[in-house]
Structures are given as C-alpha cells and as structure tokens.
Amino acid sequence: MTSIYQKGATRMYSLDLVEFWAEAEENLGLKNSMFFIDNGVVTQWYNVEEGEGFYLWIVNQLQNNNWFDEVVEKFFRAVNKKDKVGIFEGLTVFDEIDNHPEIANEDVLRRLKRVRESTHEIIYNLQ
C-alpha cells in the first residue's frame, strides 16, 4: 500500500531542532513524518492517514475540558526546563488547533492566542 503525504509546516530550524521536532511528532503518533531541509528552511511532510488520526485524536481530547489545560501546563514546564521535545509536542498540538479552529471552543482559542503571544519570542529563538 502506498502512503500519501501532504505538505505541513515550513520553518527555519537547525538540524538539531528538526530532530527534536521529529521526536515530538513520533511521541504524538506521527511516526512517518518526513523533514526536508534546504538552506536552513525545513519543510515537514506528514503521512495523511496519520494526520487524520491525529486530527481525530485532538477532536476527541478537546471534549475533555481539562485536557487543553494539561497541554498548556506541560508546554510551559517544557519552556521553563528548555525541554525542546516537550516544546515541540505542545507546538504540534497548537498548530493543529490553529489549522482547524472549528474543533475548539472559544475559551480554548482565546487561551491558545495568549499562549502564542506570550511565547512568540521564545519559540523563534529556540537553539
């Protein structure tokens, strides 16, 4: 059976950060993502079947009112500890919600916006 891939995120990251990003995605069940680097520009391609499963998992998890709180708390702990895998796990979840805002309620979207605003510089200065 042939796997179908779809272009995901494009970022400016070093190879070290791509390795953390890939590990975070594997931890979240996205085990077949591919990352291509060209002059420091990283393009992620994800397996469509895994991506659909991840989307449905996020939709299901958002039914639990405490789940997003736990994701945010884990993300900030990772930021404070400089745990790059943990940071990328949070960013992967946040990106999925950003790309599909219809799956989240207004409270989650408002909180996500605050998280993004308060960590904007930290994320772009990862090294």
- Contacts within 8 Å (CB) and 24+ apart, 120-125: 122/79, 123/87, 123/91
Q: Is pLDDT of 74 > 70?
A: yes
pLDDT of residue 79: 94
Q: Is pLDDT of 14 > 70?
A: yes
Percentage of the chain beyond pLDDT 70 is 98
What is the rounded CA–CA span in Å between residue 80 and residue 61? Answer: 25
Classify residue 1: in a domain, yes or no: no
Q: Number of structural domains, the chain?
A: 1
Classify residue 25: in a domain, yes or no: yes
Closest CA to 91 of 37, 17, 41: 17
Q: Is 125 helix (H, G, I), strand (E, B) or coil?
A: coil
Classify residue 54: in a domain, yes or no: yes
Q: Is pLDDT of 13 > 90?
A: no
- Asked if 115 contacts 103 with a C-beta cutoff of 8 angstroms, the reply is no
Classify residue 103: in a domain, yes or no: yes
Q: Is pLDDT of 67 > 80?
A: yes
